[in-house]
Amino acid sequence: MRGSGSLNREFYGTQLLKNALRYYLTRTGPLATGAMSVGAFVRSSPQVHRPDIQLYMDGVTFGIANGNSKVQVPLTRVERQPGLSIYAHLLRCTSEGTVMVTSTDPAVSPAISPNWLSTEADRQTAIHATHYMRRYVTQTAVAPKIDHEFFPGGSLQQSNDDIVSIWRKYATTGIHGVGTCRMGGDALAVVDHRLRVNGVEGLRIVDYVRVEALEGADLVTGIRLTSGELLACDLLVVGVGITPEIGPLLDAGAKTENGVVVDEMCATSLPDVVAVVIAQHIRTYRLKIQTVGLPVGYDQTVVRGEIDEASFAIVYLKQGKVVALDCVNMPRDYMQGRWLVLACASIDPVFLSDALNRTGNRGG
């Protein structure tokens, strides 16, 4: 990539230290963004009535694994050279895989065969997606900044079969899990309307979520179940609990910044869609992050624990009342502090501090 525009340099050396401090103090900057800054929903061809490809774009590139190794492009090491990344996600795959029991011992793992790109429709969509991404970087506003295609490279020499081979080697699932089995009365359904497994006597699957997708464009008009049934709605309330199930909300285009963005009234960026946030429990990079409340309009913070040791809690106060709590590897503080948030408790910051804490005043 030529010139400025790439964010790669922001994740190294003094720039990384500055951005870490900026995020800690203001919750802004490169470290406050989501995985990708730009997204698009596109059609693979004029014959497709609604988008069947989702694109993710950002001015960040990641180190590529050994070309002889059958692994996905890793997302753990940002490259030092400037670059632009574009990823494609096939939205409505027709390929079907299998999950087969291999033993009567429940501790033995099943045999999982995804069978990705096993249908001609999926292979053609993957080919169209690749051509679409390459056409994108030839547009007038982008082309002057592009030096060459680094990965997978060789676009002029690649046949459609070559493109499919690249997808087979590097692609992986990007589906947000929102259900485990199809419900219905036909032979292809796993369970019936009472969640009894079809064809197996005395076995029932209790599944707490069976939502396949949110229907609509800018305005969500309904919820489609895995059975194919469409439930129309005027207002959608999405509950986010200890284990968030927000895949359909993200797929519908809700604004995200390391999670679904909501305002003080818990309204999302989608019209008539509200996310009721009780708590959030995420496990990533060996960190256990737990949050409760919305840190909006706070005027004071209390930091408990040690940030350098990745074990700390940040308590947000507004006019002396506890309004939010962020915990990193501090489950005890989370369990105790969430009740303070729920009660909007008034408490002297002195009683919140510990031997390692630092207190400060800053706006939210």
Pairing of strands 230-232, 236-240: unpaired
Average pLDDT score over residue span 148-165: 80
- Residue pair 75/62 in contact by the 8 Å Cβ criterion: yes
Enumerate the CATH 3.30.560.10 domain ranges in the chain, comma separated.
1-175
- Residue pair 227/210 in contact by the 8 Å Cβ criterion: yes
Q: Is 107 helix (H, G, I), strand (E, B) or coil?
A: coil
- Residue pair 183/227 in contact by the 8 Å Cβ criterion: yes
The pLDDT tens digits of the residues spanning 33-66 come to 777 788 888 988 888 888 889 898 888 887 765 5
**Four-point Cα dihedral 64, 68, 70, 72, nearest 10:** 10
The rounded distance, in Å, linking the Cα atoms of 94 and 187 is 18
Average pLDDT score over residue span 154-167: 82
User: For residue 290, is pLDDT > 60?
Assistant: yes
The rounded distance, in Å, linking the Cα atoms of 359 and 349 is 8
Q: Which of 37-41, 46-50, 259-263, 288-292 has the lowest mean pLDDT?
A: 259-263
pLDDT of residue 122: 93
Residues in Cβ contact with 360 at an 8 Å cutoff, skipping those fewer than 6 apart: 300, 301, 303
Query: Topology of domain 287-360, per CATH?
Result: Enolase-like; domain 1 (3.30.390)
Enumerate the CATH 3.30.390.30 domain ranges in the chain, comma separated.
287-360
Total residue length of the chain: 364
User: For residue 355, is pLDDT > 50?
Assistant: no
User: For residue 227, is pLDDT > 80?
Assistant: no
User: For residue 364, is pLDDT > 50?
Assistant: no
Pairing of strands 236-240, 273-277: parallel
* Residue 183: alpha-carbon gap to chain centroid: 26
Query: For residue 20, what are its two tokens?
Result: 């870490």
| Nearest Cα to Cα of residue 29 among 7, 12, 55 | 7
Confidence of residue 126 (pLDDT cuts 50, 70, 90): very high
Q: What percent of the chain has pLDDT over 70?
A: 71
The pLDDT tens digits of the residues spanning 188-213 come to 788 887 777 888 887 766 544 456 67
Top-tier CATH class for 1-175:
alpha beta
Residues in Cβ contact with 36 at an 8 Å cutoff, skipping those fewer than 6 apart: 56, 57, 58, 85, 87
Beta bridge partners, 86, equal 57
Average pLDDT score over residue span 295-315: 83
